[in-house]
Amino acid sequence: MKFLLMLIVLACPFLATSCDDDETEAAPKPTFVFVHGTFADESAWQLIKPKLEQAGYSVVAFNLPAHGTDPTPVSKANFELYVSTVVQKINAISGKVVLLGHSMGGMVVTQVAEQIPAKIEKLVYLCAFLPKNGQTLYELASSDTESLLGRSLHPEADGLTASLPPNVLVQVFAVDAPEAIQKEVAKTRPEPLAVFAAKASLTDANFGKIPKYYIKTLKDEGVTPTLQQRMIDGYPGKIAKIYTMNTSHSPYWAKPDELVTILKEIN
């Protein structure tokens, strides 16, 4: 009897360890929510979404209003609608999410995080605008004197949108992407302008407490490395980790495998 009790005592730590391991393995992986940028839509994530899903992650990607196939009239497309669209998507998901914004999407995810901080586990900025309280997209973009975007933007007759010449679209968004993607990028629809004037309204209590990660793109002619670094420097000690990718403004097309590896490491 004493021998049997001794065996049970000795076995308990191993059984406990085994149970802990099983619980760890069973823990669900976080849900990624992807928010695209200007002159883009949900197709931006077509190469990385399946790779993450194959690795066990859930991925939610969609069109912002008046982008891609979304039917919202451009007269209704504004920053508040972008933010509320993302908030609705996140609130429909059980648990917290990892929220990623690309380019202009950085403005959107920043304001979303301010509104629903309890739903955001981490924020990821993919060569994205990272505003301070009170800053606008126009203020940040116009300060980027090395960017091709500002000097190439062409206002449309409707007064609500602007377009870029096809060669500039490819140069900025797809110069290092496959040829088939370059052809699609060159046909991108005009971009609503209302979002450019909206001010970020942020607090330390909400947006400030969420862990933030930044992925810099070193060959970026849209949001240049100079501006990216300046925005990062605006949050000294507040960025959990900074990654770099040797790509243009669309690393999800140029180096999807490398981007997936980074996202897995963040989570």
User: Could you report the per-residue pLDDT of 73-99, keeping only the tens digit for each?
Assistant: 999 999 999 999 999 999 999 999 999
Put residue 196 in one of left, alpha, beta given phi > 0 → left and psi -120 to 50 → alpha. alpha
Token readout for 130 is 């990272």
Rounded to 5°, angle at Cα 208 from 206 and 212 = 120
pTM for the predicted model, two decimal places: 0.90
Cα gap 103→64, rounded to integer Å: 13
Per-residue pLDDT at 26: 52
- For residue 16, the model assigns a pLDDT of 45
| Residue of higher predicted confidence among 28 and 52 | 52
Please give the pLDDT value at position 18: 45
Q: Which fold has domain 30-266?
A: Rossmann fold (3.40.50)
Q: What is the mean pLDDT of residues 168-194?
A: 94
pLDDT at res. 28: 78
Look at 231 and 10; give whichever has higher pLDDT: 231
Instruction: Label residue 267 by pLDDT band (50, 70, 90).
Output: confident
pLDDT at residue 24, rounded to an integer = 45
Local confidence band at 25 (pLDDT 50, 70, 90 cut-offs): low
Mean per-residue pLDDT for 57-67? 97
Range with the poorest average pLDDT among 10-24, 75-89, 143-157: 10-24
The string of pLDDT tens digits covering residues 196-250 is: 999 999 999 999 999 999 999 999 999 999 999 999 999 999 999 999 999 999 9
pLDDT tens digits for range 99-137:
999 999 999 999 999 999 999 999 999 999 999 999 999
Q: Which of 238, 233, 228, 80 is nearest to 140 (CA)?
A: 228
CA-nearest of 149, 124, 138 to 216 is: 124
Return mean pLDDT, the chain: 91
What's the angle, vertex CA 28, arms to CA 27 and CA 34, rounded to 5?
A: 150
Domain limits, the chain: 30-266
Q: Is the pLDDT of residue 13 over 50?
A: no
The 10s digit of each residue's pLDDT in 154-165 is: 999 999 999 999
- Going along the chain, which residue ranges are E strands? 31-35, 58-61, 97-102, 120-126, 154-155, 161-163, 191-192, 212-217, 239-245
